[in-house]
Amino acid sequence: MEKPLMFKLKKFSKLIIVTFSALFISPLCQADAVLNNTDTQLLIASDTEREYKIFTAWPSHPAPKEGWPVIYILDANIMFATMVEAARMMENRNKQDGSLIVGIGYNNNKERKKERALDLTPRLGSTPNAMVGTGGAEDFLRFIKDDLKPHINKRFKINQQQESIFGHSFGGLFVLYSLIKKPSLFDTYIAASPSIWFENKLLTLPSLRGQLSTQLQSTPRTLITVGEYEQKDDPDFPHPSIKRLKAAKLVDNAREYAHWLDEQPSINSKFALITGENHGSVIPAAISRAVRFIFSKKTITP
């Protein structure tokens, strides 16, 4: 039997009310999911004039007398929130004072893939790399040392004996390069799935490795992690090019580099193979391992 017109209008009006209610409620629900005590700022490198987006997260209570520990994280556009939540969960569970998280990323109008390829990769001397658009790691390292860290030290009370850096893939390569060039810039260096294959394993050259011993003035701690399926195929998510995957030798290279570091005087180096993960899926697990390594009371602090 056909419903009366008035009944249809009432039903339709209820639908409108419910729909508008949902529209008004949604922003409030979304706001609850935003990370608290965070902000972003643009910072210009003093020598290259390159622009970086700096993500910062801080605890909700005053800094301890010695200042906040700091974790610097690369590729912040995609990894910052994961690092913040992982650190805060670890701190809350273990009743720790908290830490400052500083992410280095790029503004939304930048081509992040090209930007990171330049910033996170080294070159040897003035010879251009075979891979076009790479080789800016020395400039990027200078930006962190001369511009970013002083900027953070002005904004917050920092414990300069507890500063860590984390990077994945090209970011992991940069972390290891930073360790060799500036081993006292951070206290803890964590390289996840480092791209040691880059430029015919440039980072393993004796001329570069040999610089580490001459730079050591502290006792840096290092952790190198890599996923189980970064050198063999992932049965759940097959790699598009098994030949390229095997040729990169991410697992073998990471293990060898960690072993070499551990043989160096005054370096405490650890290696972790993360089971069941590939180059992409390993990121949250690697961040979790990094946070554990940074705050573990069983790990020797420099």
Query: So which residues are the catalytic ones?
Result: 169, 230, 279
Sequence-ordered list of residues with C-beta below 8 angstroms from that of 46, at least 6 positions apart, any chain: 143, 146, 147
Which letter, b or e, does each residue of 266-297 get, where b requires 16 or more Cβ atoms within 10 Å of its Cβ? ebbbbbbebeebbbebbbebbbbbbbebbbee
Which residue, 12, 99, 26, 110, is CA-closest to 64?
Answer: 99
